Amino acid sequence: MSLEISTVNSTTIITLVPRFDSATAPEIEAELRLLIQKNPRSVLFDFSRTEYIASAGLRVLLSTTREIKKAGGNVALVSLSPKVRQVFLIGGFMQIFTDYNTRDEALAQMGKQ
């Protein structure tokens, strides 16, 4: 299992796995730590393939976001399924993240920042 990572303009797009839980979180966290070392300025987490996220996934996402923002970067989410969006809402995470419906919309808005 590996994250799909690409770059469009100056935005790093990270397509997450179908299940982001305690079984997958450690490996994802390790990959994200390597990415953070490259000091990305703009990161888009793409949830188009993610069917399930647990608290372990939320923790990894939050700690990664804190590191990116501390270094002056920005982070956004795209393509949250209704089920995954509900987890973010219940956990109060939608107040922390900017969320977009489509990748094109996210890239257009993030390019303005």
Residue 40 amino acid letter: P
Model confidence at 1, in pLDDT bands (50, 70, 90)?
low
Rg (CA), the chain: 13
Find residue 7's DSSP bridge partners.
12
Residue-range domain boundaries for the chain: 4-111
pTM of the model: 0.94
* 24's tokens: 């997958």
Summarised one tens digit per residue, pLDDT across range 10-45 is 999 999 999 999 999 999 999 999 999 999 999 999
Cβ atoms of residues 88 and 97 within 8 Å: yes
Instruction: Report which of residues 51 and 112 the model is more confident about.
Output: 51
Is the pLDDT reported for residue 2 higher than 90? no
Mean pLDDT confidence for 74-87: 96
To 5 degrees, how large is the angle CA 27–CA 41–CA 109?
105
Instruction: Report which of residues 113 and 109 the model is more confident about.
Output: 109
Domain 4-111 adopts which CATH fold?
Transcription Regulator spoIIAA (3.30.750)
